Amino acid sequence: MFSKILIANRGEIACRIAKTAKRLGISVVAVYSEADAGSRHVSMADEAYCIGPPPAKDSYLRGDAIIEVAKKSGAQAIHPGYGFLSENDAFAEACAKAGLVFIGPPPSAIRAMGLKSAAKALMEKAGVPLVPGYHGDKQDPAFLRTEADKIGYPVLIKASAGGGGKGMRVVEKGGDFVEALASCQREAKASFGDDQVLIEKYLTRPRHIEIQVFADTRGQCVYLFERDCSVQRRHQKVLEEAPAPGMQPDRRKAMGAAAVAAAQAVGYVGAGTVEFIANQDGSFYFMEMNTRLQVEHPVTEMITGLDLVHWQLQVAAGLPLPLTQDQVKINGHSIEARVYAENPAKNFLPSTGLLKHVRTPEAVEFEGAMVQPPASVRVDSGVRPGDTISPYYDPMIAKLIVWGEDRGVALARLARALGEFEVVGVSTNIAFLGRVVKSRAFSSGDLDTGLIERNRDELFAPASGPRDDVLALAAFAEFTLSGWTATQRGKTTDEPNSPWHLVDGWRLNEQPHHTIVFVEDDQSTAVTLVRAASGMRMRTGSADYALSGKMSPDGALRIELDGRSVGGRAVRVGSEWSIFLGGEQHRLALKDDLHELESDAHGGTLAAPMPGKIIAVLVAKGARVEKGTPLVILEAMKMEHTITAPRAGTVASIRFAPGEQVDEGVDLLTLED
C-alpha cells in the first residue's frame, strides 16, 4: 500500500478521498488554486501546494504542475477524483512516465471509452446492446442533419468526449437541429476541448440506470449492483438511489453481465461505471462508460458496506479485489440528494456568494470506513460556513445520503433530513429536492429522465407572497432581536435605564405597537405587532392574531399563533431574515429606501446573472426584439446561459463582445421601449 498520495482535485471529493487515506495511515498531499487557499480540502491535507490562478485551465487542469508537486512532495500515486483530469488519458500516461501510479484505469481504457462514438463501436463488437444512432467521425452539419432525419425525431446530440450533461441537446424537430448542433459543439469545445458529437434516438420515457464495476490487475472483475439516476435537470443528476426501484433479479444479472463485458473489452482496472438507458419494458442500451469514481458512489457504499476509495487504493497498489461476485450483497436502500447553489425557479441558474449560514441535518460524519448497517444519514461536503461558492467550479454544496431498511424508510429519512438542511447566502435547490422526494411520481418509483419536466406544476411552486405563519415567525424574531440588541446596548452606556433603550413600542394616545414591512418575491407586506394588556397581537391586512412565543439564541423559534403551535428557525443576515419552515426557506427583506433604490437600479433583466464569458451576441444594435427573444449567450460554471429580452423593445447599445469576461450584475446591453 502507498504511504503518501496526492489528490488532484478539490471540494467534496478531495475531502472524501482524504478521509479514507488518513484512516489507512496514508499521508495526503493537496493541490489548490488561489481561489481555494482557505478551503476545507486544503485544511484536511498533511501538505498543500498552490498550482495557479482560479480558472481550472490554469490550475486543476495543469497536469504538468500537479505532477511536479507530486514529485516534489514524495507522493507515490495520484488520485484524480472525478472531473478535471480524472478521464484524461494523456495525464494518466504522464503520471506513468514520471514514475507515479495513476489511481484509475490504464490510459488505453480511458482512451477507448473517452470518445463515445468509438466506444459504441467497441461495445457493439462485445455484444453490448446499443441505442440506434450515428457514432461516426463525419461532422459536417448538413450530413449530421440528414442522419438525424433518418433516425427520426426526437434525437439527442451528445458531445463525443463529454460527460456530466455538458454538450448535450434534445432536438424535437428538424428545423431546430442546426442551431442546437452549434450550441452543443460550442459547449463541448469549451468543456472538453473537442467539439465532435454523436447522434442518438431520444427515448421518450427512459430510465438512467448505471452499474458500478470494479476490476483488478489480475483479470478479476465484479459489479457492485446498480444505481438509478433518472431524476435529472439539464441532463445532470439530481437524485440517485440504489438499488433501482422495481429491478428484477434476472434483469440486474443481465445488466451486470453486460457491464462486466464492457469493462473487460477495454482491459479495465479500478472503479468504473457503465451507464445504460433503459426502457420501461425492461430493455436496456449501453450509453457510455465513466472511467472514474462517480459522484453518486456513496449510495453503493451504503447498500454494500464497502469503502470504494479503499478498493481503489488496493487495486492501484496491485492487490486483488477483496471480494468475489458471490460475496457482494445488497442490504437495504440508499438515496443521495445533491445540494447545489442554484435557483430552480430560474432554470437552475447557478448561484454564487458567501455561505453565511450552513446547518446540516444531524448526521454521522463519514470517516472512510463502511459498516453494516450504515449510518441512517450521511453528509459529504467540501465547504463550511464562511466559504464562498465561486463562479469557477461546480456549485455543489454537499451530498446528502440516507439509508433505510427499505425504500420507504429511506424516503422518509431523506424528506426529514432535507427539512433540517439550512443554507443562507446563496440560492439553493433544497426546497425543490424536498418537493421532488415527496412527489407522487418519485415516492411511487414511477421514474424516468423526464420526471421533473413532466411534473413542473407540482414541483415548481409559484410565488405567492409570504404566508401569515411565516410573517409571524419573522416578526416575532425581529421583535425579539430588537429587544436583545437594546438590552445589550443599554449595558454598555452610562445610562442603562434610559427610555431610548426600550423597544416597547410606546405611542402617544395609541396602543404601543411596532410596524414592520417585509418584502418577499417583490411583494411588500406590513405586519403590526400590538402590545396590549391581554398580550401581543399581530395584524396583517384584515387578519388579527394572538401571538406569543420563545426564540433561542441559535434562531430556533416556537410561537403560538391563535393557539396554533408553529416551529421554525430564523436567521438574520444584514437586513434580511431567512425563515426555515416545513422544509422551505423564505427570504424576507426588511423594507427600506435602500432596498427600493437597489431594486430600481438592478431590475434583474439585462444584467449578467453571474460572472462569466460572453460566447455569442445574437442581436445587433438597432434590432427590434420581442419579449423572450434570445439576446446574449453567457458561459459560466462550464454551462451556457441564454439572456432573453424581458420585454419588447429596440436594442439601444451592446456593451460587450464575444470572448469578453463580465462580472455579475453588469448590464450586457440596453433596451429602449
Active site residues: 292
102 — phi, psi (to 5°)?
Answer: -90, 115
Separation between Cα atoms, residue 133 and residue 202, nearest integer Å: 9
Cβ atoms of residues 388 and 54 within 8 Å? no
Peptide bond just before 243 cis, omega within 30 deg:
yes
Residue 507 gets which letter from DSSP? Answer: B
Strand runs labelled E in 234-269 = 236-242
Cβ atoms of residues 577 and 478 within 8 Å? yes
Cβ atoms of residues 29 and 69 within 8 Å? yes
Separation between Cα atoms, residue 132 and residue 92, nearest integer Å: 32
Q: How many CA atoms lie within 13 A of 238 on its CB side?
A: 28
If DSSP codes are grouped into helix, strand and coil, which group holds residue 588? strand
CA angle 265, 268, 271 (to 5 degrees): 135
Separation between Cα atoms, residue 657 and residue 263, nearest integer Å: 46
Separation between Cα atoms, residue 124 and residue 24, nearest integer Å: 41
> What is the helix, strand, coil percentage profile of the chain, to 5?
30, 35, 35
Separation between Cα atoms, residue 617 and residue 286, nearest integer Å: 38
List the alpha helices (DSSP H) in 449-551. Answer: 451-454, 456-459, 468-491
Copy the grid coordinates of residue 14.
478531495
Per-residue buried b or exposed e for 356-374, using 16+ beta carbons within 10 Å of the residue's own CB? bbbebbebeebebebeeeb
Q: How far is CA 402 from CA 143, 268, 361, 395, in A?
A: 47, 30, 11, 21
Separation between Cα atoms, residue 331 and residue 323, nearest integer Å: 16
Q: How many CA atoms lie within 13 A of 289 on its CB side?
A: 36
DSSP run (H or E) holding 92: helix 89-97
Cβ atoms of residues 199 and 228 within 8 Å? no
Cβ atoms of residues 61 and 83 within 8 Å? no
Beta bridge partners of 28: 5
Separation between Cα atoms, residue 604 and residue 274, nearest integer Å: 42
Which residues 6+ apart lie within 8 Å of 297 measured at CB? Answer: 212, 271, 308
Cβ atoms of residues 86 and 422 within 8 Å? no
Q: How far is CA 375 from CA 123, 301, 607, in A?
A: 38, 11, 45
Copy the grid coordinates of residue 350.
447557478
Q: How far apart are the first and last CA of the chain?
A: 69
Which residues 6+ apart lie within 8 Å of 85 measured at CB? Answer: 8, 60, 61, 63, 66, 91
Residue 534 gets which letter from DSSP? Answer: T
If DSSP codes are grouped into helix, strand and coil, which group holds residue 587? strand
Copy the grid coordinates of residue 609.
446573472
CA angle 48, 54, 57 (to 5 degrees): 100
Q: 483479470: which residue's cell?
A: 219
